[in-house]
């Protein structure tokens, strides 16, 4: 069975819709498209599937409500517009959900909800409770307080974190582009759509462009980052164009639509999922080939295998682990801060107490606090 045909069996689906899909090029809200989106979601839910919607568009709705000619550049102004637009966008959703006889619930998340384990679990439990009640959660980043997310268009990553959070089978990201191309299709007429990407290689990351449309803030780069999260969480992800009627239904029927990123393996345990995708990343460490091989066998990361340290992280914070080629191979909680790791790297455990004040831990990252990304 192919990854496409397995989508027919998906029972829990997260759909992320971008600002460009919800608005006209003029910036006004595209009510026709929003109604069709809601109708498709409810039709899938009526078949017994769990549906969650991650929706962008709050800032665009705020711009539309105030009749502004363009989005302001300053973060405080955009936060204010998000606060104004959130209510306007929710009103539109509520109207269409009510017309088609399904209850929705607004859920606003921030990085804090993912970074702290108890909040991660509370968010998971709340979303699962809504699904048990046959309610469709409509989720957005809390843009009025989450500064970083407004800057980088992180609803792509948010949707992947939500998919991991609720053990989803599929994540569908609807955008203003058909999927991932071999080159930028807006600039290169010979660019071809890539139907399936089993593994995100450095070449795929290079293909990912910069910012997206003028209405949204996310480009293909954030979608590739989301695909990394989804694949490693055991979630099959599809990037597709959101302005075609029936696109969600077609994807879930196994049709050749957009670019598919097949799930890699079974779902991570909840704590491992939180470590990989919920925690804020504060630095990076590079390791040698011998360390990579040992990690694949289930070993912890020892100082002797570390070759470089990047960032100024503290003990207990989460870092990326990079291979000699610079590829991300793991994420984990560091037992030592960056300055101590710099002193310890390349040394054996017996030397620790001579090099740092508190050299009790033998491992720089213990295997129980680490998730492989390969």
Place of tokens 């002797």: 304
3.30.365.10, 2.30.130.10, 1.10.1060.10, 3.40.50.150: CATH of 280-372: 2.30.130.10
**φ and ψ of 159, to 5 deg:** -65, -35
Q: What share of the chain is helix, strand, coil (3-state, %, to 5)?
A: 45, 20, 40
Which one, of 288, 281, 309, lies nearest residue 371 by Cα?
Answer: 281
H helix intervals, the chain: 3-6, 19-22, 31-45, 58-66, 75-99, 111-115, 117-132, 147-152, 155-165, 202-207, 220-232, 247-252, 270-273, 289-296, 338-344, 352-355
Note the CATH number of domain 3-272. 3.40.1160.10
Q: What is the CA radius of gyration of the chain?
A: 22
Residue 258: CB atoms within 10 A of its CB come to 26
pTM of the model: 0.78
Q: Write the DSSP string, 61-84.
A: HHHHHHT-SS--SSHHHHHHHHHH
Beta bridge pairs of residue 240 = 174
pLDDT tens over the chain, length 374 residues: 789 999 999 999 999 998 989 999 888 899 999 999 999 999 999 999 999 999 989 989 999 999 898 888 888 898 899 899 999 999 999 999 999 999 999 998 866 666 565 677 788 889 999 999 999 999 987 766 655 544 434 788 889 989 988 989 999 999 988 999 988 887 888 989 999 999 888 888 888 764 444 443 347 888 998 998 888 888 999 999 999 889 999 999 999 999 999 997 655 555 566 566 666 788 999 999 999 999 999 999 999 999 999 999 998 888 999 999 998 899 888 989 999 999 899 888 878 878 887 766 788 999 878 888 87
**φ and ψ of 300, to 5 deg:** -80, 170
Give, to the nearest 10 degrees, the angle between helix 31-45 and helix 75-99.
60
Output DSSP code: residue 287: E
Domain boundaries, the chain: 3-272, 280-372
User: Same topology for domains 3-272 and 280-372, yes or no?
Assistant: no
Which one, of 260, 12, 16, 274, lies nearest residue 156 by Cα?
Answer: 16
Helix (H, G, I), strand (E, B) or coil at 86: helix
């Amino acid at each position: 069975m192919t990854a496409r045909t397995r989508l027919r069996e998906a029972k829990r689906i997260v759909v992320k819709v971008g600002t460009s899909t919800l608005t006209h090029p003029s910036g006004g809200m595209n009510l026709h498209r929003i109604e069709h989106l809601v109708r498709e979601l409810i039709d899938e839910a009526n078949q017994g599937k769990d549906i969650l919607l991650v929706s962008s568009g709050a800032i665009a709705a705020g711009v539309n409500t105030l009749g502004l000619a363009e989005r302001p550049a300053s973060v405080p102004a955009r936060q204010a517009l998000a606060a104004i637009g959130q209510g306007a966008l929710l009103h539109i959703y509520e109207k269409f959900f009510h017309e088609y006889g399904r209850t929705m619930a607004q859920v606003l998340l921030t990085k804090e909800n993912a970074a702290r384990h108890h909040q991660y679990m509370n968010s998971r439990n709340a979303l699962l409770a809504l699904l048990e009640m046959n309610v469709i959660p409509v989720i957005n980043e809390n843009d009025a307080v989450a500064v970083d997310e407004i800057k980088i268009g992180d609803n792509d990553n948010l949707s992947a974190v939500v998919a991991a959070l609720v053990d989803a089978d599929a994540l569908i990201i609807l955008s203003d582009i058909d999927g991932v191309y071999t080159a930028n299709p807006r600039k290169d007429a010979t660019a071809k759509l890539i139907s399936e990407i089993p593994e995100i290689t450095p070449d795929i990351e290079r293909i990912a462009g910069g910012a997206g449309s003028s209405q949204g803030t996310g480009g293909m780069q954030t979608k590739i980052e989301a695909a990394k999260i989804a694949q490693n969480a055991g979630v099959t992800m599809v990037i597709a164009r959101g302005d075609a009627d029936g696109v969600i239904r077609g994807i879930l029927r196994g049709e050749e639509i957009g670019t598919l990123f097949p799930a890699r393996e079974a779902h991570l345990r909840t704590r491992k999922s939180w470590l990989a995708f919920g925690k804020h990343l504060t630095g990076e460490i590079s390791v040698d080939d011998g360390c990579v091989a040992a990690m694949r066998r289930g070993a912890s990361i020892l100082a002797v295998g570390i070759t470089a340290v990047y960032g100024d992280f503290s003990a207990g914070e989460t870092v990326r682990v990079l291979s000699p080629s610079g590829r991300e191979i793991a994420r984990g909680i560091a037992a030592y801060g960056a300055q101590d790791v710099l002193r310890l790297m390349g040394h054996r455990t017996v030397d620790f107490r001579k090099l740092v004040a508190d050299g009790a831990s033998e491992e720089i990252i213990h295997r129980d606090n680490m998730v492989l990304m390969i």
